[in-house]
Amino acid sequence: MTVSFLLSPEQEQLKAAARGFARERLRDLAAATRAERDPRTRALLSRPVFENAVAAGFLKGLIPVPFGGNAAGGVDAAILIEEWAAESPDFVISMAGPLIALAPVYQVGTPAQVKRFVRPFLVDSGAPLAAMAFSEPDGSANFDAEGRCQGIRTTAVPDGDEWVVNGRKAWASHLCGWDGDGPDVMTIVCRTPGGVSLVVAEREHLAGRIEVEEYYDLPGLKGCLTTRVRLTDVRVPLGNLLGEEGQGVDLTRDAFLPSGASIGVFATAAMRQAFDVAHRFASTERRGGPVPIIEYQAVSDVLADAKGKIEAVRLLAWRALDAVLSGHPSGPELALHAKVFGSETGVAVVNDLVKVIGVTAYDEGFPIVRHLMDALSYPVIEGSNVGVRRRQLQTLFRTPGYDPLAASGMA
């Protein structure tokens, strides 16, 4: 049995198709998004491209095969994300809502729930949205804390044959949907009488019951439609509870594993773009000296260190996504390393590449600081490294019988 890291002919095709779409559609979108000052207006610019991507079958590519989609393995997902995120990471994050919001549906949904909640995304037209409403304005890192005034504060109270949901949610892409009446499917992390639980609200339940309090103006990932919203008396059928009451903490943690692993790929995309810019600059610019600056050992040392780290994070992220999407036991630990190590390395590497270029980099029009602004988000989104992700690693390490070699397969 051999392990090969060479792309198959099919993966080469996927890379070419993804790169083609990214250059044709996402490059111009990213430029237009950067130029628009209003956060809501600029997020809405992506809708026609979103529709193109749905028509090209990319949305179905996010849905696993057993649930009617045609998602392939982790390495394929990594290739697609890297190619798109190289041009517009915000577009990928906006489109990937189903990856997180539907994960608990796949895990514990009844056949009827699977049919109802997944169906809106098995389409060839339109721009259907899913949001994982986990984060709250008063904090999310301690979402598993017990007690009424801690952790998740959004509540769902049974009333007849419905849950009545009240609370405030924040940050998740597309909480408000394209028009303010919510996404097609919103998976809400909330507190029910039986503990932290997940309840699905559909657009028909959200319309008129969701109020946008603020559109966040992000320094990077500018096309992401992130808001703070208030949910008031959102009534959903009791049958929209996913799994059992009290299962919400575990389901939420699991739902963020694939997206956590993918942060390593987003970081790779930012580093790869920044490296390309810095390498070209160093190879051509003399900055008043006798030779291109790549001839100086100090400059090429930074490039060498950066390139090694890019290759390392890419391989880690491929492996993590492969493990997590195939349900391998090493998935959780590898996903956490791809998230934490990948994101921290991404920030450090892009920052070093800015320093290679020098002051020229510090101009909005020069194409590198934008990648740093995107990369700065990766340690804090998908559960911050300090508040959430390293604590999850701590929990793994403290598990009785934890084997440090298991994640690598070398036990």
Ligand X SMILES: Cc1cc2nc3c(=O)[nH]c(=O)nc-3n(C[C@H](O)[C@H](O)[C@H](O)COP(=O)(O)OP(=O)(O)OC[C@H]3O[C@@H](n4cnc5c(N)ncnc54)[C@H](O)[C@@H]3O)c2cc1C
Q: Which residues bind ligand X (CB under 6 A)?
A: 93, 100, 132, 134-135, 139-142, 171-173, 221, 224, 226, 377, 380-384, 386-388, 391
CB of 20 to ligand X, least distance (A): 26
Tell the residue number behind the tokens 């391989």, with chain if given.
315
Residue 234, phi then psi, degrees to nearest 5: -75, 120
CB of 329 to ligand X, least distance (A): 25
The residue (of 330 and 392) whose beta carbon lies closer to ligand X is 392
The residue (of 173 and 240) whose beta carbon lies closer to ligand X is 173
The residue (of 137 and 158) whose beta carbon lies closer to ligand X is 137
Give me the amino acid identity at 139.
Answer: G
Q: Which residues contact 176 (CB under 8 A, 6 or more apart)?
A: 182, 183, 210, 212, 225, 227, 229
Spell out the alpha helix ranges (H) of 331-405. 331-357, 369-375, 390-397
CB of 215 to ligand X, least distance (A): 12
CB of 143 to ligand X, least distance (A): 8
- Measured CA to CA, the distance from residue 7 to residue 13 in angstroms comes to 10
Q: Which of 241, 234, 139 is nearest to 187 (CA)?
A: 241
CB of 109 to ligand X, least distance (A): 19
Q: Beta strand 226-237 with 241-242: parallel, antiparallel or unpaired?
A: unpaired
Q: Which two tokens stand for residue 46?
A: 């992506």
The residue (of 93 and 334) whose beta carbon lies closer to ligand X is 93
CB of 172 to ligand X, least distance (A): 3
The residue (of 243 and 379) whose beta carbon lies closer to ligand X is 379
Tell the residue number behind the tokens 């998976």, with chain if given.
187
Q: Which of 86, 345, 41, 366 is nearest to 222 (CA)?
A: 41
Tell the residue number behind the tokens 């949907």, with chain if given.
177
Question: Which residue number is nearest to ligand X in terms of Cβ?
Answer: 387
The residue (of 133 and 303) whose beta carbon lies closer to ligand X is 133
